[in-house]
Amino acid sequence: MVLQALALCRYLESNQEIVDLHDKVVLEIGAGTGLVSIVSSLLGAWVTATDLPEVLGNLRSNLSRNTRGRSRYMPQAAELFWGCKLDKTFPRSVYKYDYVLAADVVYHHDFLAELLVTMRHFCQPGTTLLWANRVRFQSDLVFTENFRKTFNISLLEDNGEIKIYSANVKEERGEVMEEGLKMENEMGAEESKNLKELKLDSKNVELQQRKLLTDATLVEEMKEVERKAELQDENQEGTEDDEMERLNDVNKETFEMEEKPVEIGGEDADRNSESHSTEKDKQQDYPRSWAPTIYYMPGKEIYHFLGQKIIIQESLDSYGATVWPAALALCKLLDTPEGRQQIHLCDKSVLELGAGTGLLSAVVTLLGAKLTATDLPEILGNLTCNLNRNTRGRRRHEPLIAELFWGHNLEETFPRSTNHYDYVLATDVVYHHDYLTELLNTMRHFCSPGTTLVWANKVRYARDLDFINDFQKCFNSSLLTERDEVRIYVATSRETEDAREEKATDTEKSHNGDVCEDLREIQRKTQNDEVKSSQSSLEEKYEELQDCKASQDH
Ligand X SMILES: C[S@@+](CC[C@H](N)C(=O)[O-])C[C@H]1O[C@@H](n2cnc3c(N)ncnc32)[C@H](O)[C@@H]1O
Q: Is 429 in the site for ligand X (CB under 6 A)?
A: yes
Q: How far is the CB of 440 from ligand X (least distance, A)?
A: 12
Q: Is 428 in the site for ligand X (CB under 6 A)?
A: yes
Q: How far is the CB of 220 from ligand X (least distance, A)?
A: 37
Q: Is 314 in the site for ligand X (CB under 6 A)?
A: no
Q: Is 21 in the site for ligand X (CB under 6 A)?
A: no
Residue type, 74: M
Task: List the one residue from 90, 324, 446, 475 that touches ligand X (CB under 6 A).
Answer: 324
d(CA 471, CA 463): 12
Task: Please choose, out of 49-57, 235-243, 316-324, 494-502, the segment that lies near ligand X by the rule CB under 6 A.
Answer: 316-324
Task: List the one residue from 73, 305, 319, 471 that touches ligand X (CB under 6 A).
Answer: 319
Q: Is 406 in the site for ligand X (CB under 6 A)?
A: yes
148 vs 433, beta carbon nearer ligand X:
433
Q: How far is the CB of 426 from ligand X (least distance, A)?
A: 7
Which residues in the 363-382 window bind ligand X by CB under 6 A?
Answer: 375-376, 379
DSSP assignment, residue 554? Answer: -
The size of the interface with ligand X (CB under 6 A), counted in residues, is 23
Task: Please choose, out of 55-63, 78-86, 337-345, 348-356, the segment that lies near ligand X by the rule CB under 6 A.
Answer: 348-356
Q: Is 75 in the site for ligand X (CB under 6 A)?
A: no
Q: Is 333 in the site for ligand X (CB under 6 A)?
A: no
Q: Is 320 in the site for ligand X (CB under 6 A)?
A: yes
d(CA 143, CA 449): 61
Q: How far is the CB of 442 from ligand X (least distance, A)?
A: 8
35 vs 379, beta carbon nearer ligand X:
379
Residue type, 34: G
Task: List the one residue from 21, 78, 116, 326 that touches ligand X (CB under 6 A).
Answer: 326
Going across the sheet that includes 370-375, the strands are: 400-403, 370-375, 349-353, 423-427, 452-458, 486-493, 475-483
d(CA 332, CA 176): 49
d(CA 198, CA 192): 10
142 vs 429, beta carbon nearer ligand X:
429
Residue nearest to ligand X as judged by C-beta position: 320
Q: How many CB atoms lie within 10 A of CB 390?
A: 24
DSSP assignment, residue 314? Answer: -
Of 326, 364, 307, 258, nearest in space to 480 by CA? 326
Which residues in the 433-472 window bind ligand X by CB under 6 A?
Answer: 433, 435
Of 128, 112, 93, 101, nearest in space to 36 by CA? 101
Residue type, 127: T
**What separation in angstroms does the CA of 549 have from each of 18, 545, 554?**
71, 6, 8
Q: How far is the CB of 386 from ligand X (least distance, A)?
A: 11
Q: Is 327 in the site for ligand X (CB under 6 A)?
A: yes
Sign of CA dihedral 318, 321, 324, 330: positive
Residue environment code for 273-309, b if the CB has 16+ CB neighbours within 10 A, otherwise e: eeeeeeeeeebeeeebebebeeeeeebebebebeeee
Q: How far is the CB of 318 from ligand X (least distance, A)?
A: 6
Of 293, 295, 296, 297, nearest in space to 260 by CA? 293
151 vs 406, beta carbon nearer ligand X:
406
Q: Is 405 in the site for ligand X (CB under 6 A)?
A: yes
264 and 255 in contact (C-beta within 8 Å)? no
DSSP assignment, residue 495? Answer: S
Task: List the one residue from 404, 468, 480, 490 that touches ligand X (CB under 6 A).
Answer: 404
Residue environment code for 12-33, b if the CB has 16+ CB neighbours within 10 A, otherwise e: bbeeeeebebeebbbbbbbbbb
Residue 315 neighbours by CB under 8 Å, 6+ apart: 299, 321, 382
DSSP assignment, residue 427? Answer: E
Task: List the one residue from 261, 266, 356, 399 that touches ligand X (CB under 6 A).
Answer: 356
Q: How far is the CB of 128 from ligand X (least distance, A)?
A: 25
Q: Is 402 in the site for ligand X (CB under 6 A)?
A: no
39 vs 323, beta carbon nearer ligand X:
323
Q: How far is the CB of 356 from ligand X (least distance, A)?
A: 3
Task: Please choose, out of 165-173, 260-268, 429-437, 499-507, the segment that lies near ligand X by the rule CB under 6 A.
Answer: 429-437
Q: How far is the CB of 355 from ligand X (least distance, A)?
A: 6
Query: What is the number of residues in the chain?
Result: 554
325 and 414 in contact (C-beta within 8 Å)? no
Q: Is 45 in the site for ligand X (CB under 6 A)?
A: no
Sign of CA dihedral 269, 270, 272, 274: positive
261 vs 356, beta carbon nearer ligand X:
356
Q: Is 258 in the site for ligand X (CB under 6 A)?
A: no
86 vs 430, beta carbon nearer ligand X:
430
Task: List the one residue from 102, 103, 164, 323 that touches ligand X (CB under 6 A).
Answer: 323
Task: Please choose, out of 2-10, 154-162, 182-190, 425-433, the segment that lies near ligand X by the rule CB under 6 A.
Answer: 425-433
Task: Please choose, out of 55-63, 178-186, 322-330, 473-481, the segment that lies near ligand X by the rule CB under 6 A.
Answer: 322-330
Q: How far is the CB of 409 from ligand X (least distance, A)?
A: 12
Q: How far is the CB of 397 from ligand X (least distance, A)?
A: 20
33 vs 441, beta carbon nearer ligand X:
441
CA angle at residue 222 from 202 to 144, to 5 degrees?
Answer: 100
Q: Is 354 in the site for ligand X (CB under 6 A)?
A: yes
What distance lies between CA 4 and its chain's CA centroid? Answer: 26
Which residue pairs from 10-18 have beta carbons closer than 8 angstroms and sit at least 24 positions apart in sequence?
10/286, 11/130, 11/132, 11/156, 11/157, 11/164, 12/36, 12/39, 12/40, 12/43, 12/130, 13/39, 13/43, 13/286, 13/288, 13/289, 13/290, 14/286, 15/156, 16/43, 18/156
Residues in contact with ligand X by the rule CB under 6 A? 318-320, 323-324, 326-327, 354-357, 375-376, 379, 404-406, 427-429, 431, 433, 435
